[in-house]
Amino acid sequence: MLISETKVRVYYEDTDKMGVVYYGKYPRYYEIGRTEMIRELGFTYKELEDSGIYLPCSSITINYLKPACYDDMLTIRTTVEELPKVRFVFKTEIYNQNQELLNRGEVVLVFFNAAANKPCRAPESFIKMIEKYF
Amino acid sequence: MLISETKVRVYYEDTDKMGVVYYGKYPRYYEIGRTEMIRELGFTYKELEDSGIYLPCSSITINYLKPACYDDMLTIRTTVEELPKVRFVFKTEIYNQNQELLNRGEVVLVFFNAAANKPCRAPESFIKMIEKYF
Amino acid sequence: MLISETKVRVYYEDTDKMGVVYYGKYPRYYEIGRTEMIRELGFTYKELEDSGIYLPCSSITINYLKPACYDDMLTIRTTVEELPKVRFVFKTEIYNQNQELLNRGEVVLVFFNAAANKPCRAPESFIKMIEKYF
Amino acid sequence: MLISETKVRVYYEDTDKMGVVYYGKYPRYYEIGRTEMIRELGFTYKELEDSGIYLPCSSITINYLKPACYDDMLTIRTTVEELPKVRFVFKTEIYNQNQELLNRGEVVLVFFNAAANKPCRAPESFIKMIEKYF
Average pLDDT over residues A28-56: 93
> C32 and chain D: CB distance < 8 Å anywhere?
no
Residue D24 above 90 pLDDT? yes
Shortest CA gap C97–chain B (Å): 15
The one-digit pLDDT tens for each residue of chain C (134 residues) are 999 999 999 999 999 999 999 999 999 999 999 999 999 988 888 888 988 999 999 999 999 999 999 999 999 999 999 999 999 999 999 999 999 999 999 999 999 999 999 999 999 988 998 999 99
> Which domains occur in chain D, in start order?
2-133 (3.10.129.10)
Q: Residue B89 above 90 pLDDT?
A: yes
D25: pLDDT strictly greater than 90 = yes
**Alpha carbon of B81 to those of A39, B7, B45, B48, D20: distances in Å?**
43, 21, 19, 20, 41
- Residue D42, pLDDT > 90, answer no
Q: Does C96 touch chain A (CB under 8 A)?
A: no
Q: Is C47 touching A (CB cutoff 8 A)?
A: no
> Residues 64..93 of D with a Cβ closer than 8 Å to C: which?
64, 67
3-state SS, residue D125: helix
Report the gap between the CA of C93 and the closest CA in chain B (Å): 19
Looking at residue A42, what is its pLDDT?
87
Interchain pair D27, C23: CB under 8 A: yes
Question: Is the pLDDT reported for residue B90 higher than 90?
Answer: yes
pTM of the model: 0.96
A-chain CB neighbours of C18 within 8 Å are 12
Query: What integer pLDDT is reported at residue A20 of this predicted model?
Result: 96
**pLDDT exceeds cutoff 90 at A100:** yes
Residue A43 has pLDDT above 90, yes or no: no
Which residues, including other chains, have CB under 8 Å from residue B89's CB and lie 6 or more apart? B80, B81, B82, B106, B107, B108, B109
Cβ pair D17:B13 closer than 8 A:
no
pLDDT of residue C42: 87
Instruction: Spell D108-127 as b/e; 16+ CB within 10 A means b.
Output: bbbbbeeeeeeebebeeebe
> Do C17 and A13 make contact, defined as CB atoms within 8 angstroms?
no
* Residue (of B92, C58, C73, C90) closest to D105 by Cα position: C58
The residues of D that are catalytic are 16
What counts of helices (H) and strands (E) characterise chain C?
3, 8
How, if at all, do strands C2-9 and B118-119 pair? Answer: unpaired
Residue D64, min C-alpha distance to chain C (Å): 5
User: Per-residue pLDDT for D102 more than 90?
Assistant: yes
pLDDT at D77: 98
Q: How many CA atoms lie within 13 A of D106 on its CB side?
A: 9
| Sheet with B118-119, side-by-side order of all strands | B53-54, B112-113, B118-119
Band (pLDDT 50/70/90 cuts) for residue B42 is confident
Residues in chain B closer than 8 A to A25 (CB atoms): 24
Q: Is pLDDT at D43 greater than 90 in this prediction?
A: no
CA distance A132 to A134: 6
- Chain-centroid distance of CA C86 in Å reads 17
Instruction: Please judge whether B13 and D18 are an interchain contact, meaning their C-beta atoms are less than 8 angstroms apart.
Output: no
What number is the average pLDDT over the span D111-123?
94
What's residue D99's pLDDT?
98
Ordered alpha helix ranges (H), C20-74: 26-40, 45-50
- Taking alpha carbons only, the member of C37, C45, C47, C29 closest to residue C4 is C37
- Does residue A31 sit at the D interface (CB-CB below 8 Å)? yes
Assembly ipTM: 0.95
Is the pLDDT at B43 greater than 90? The verdict is: no
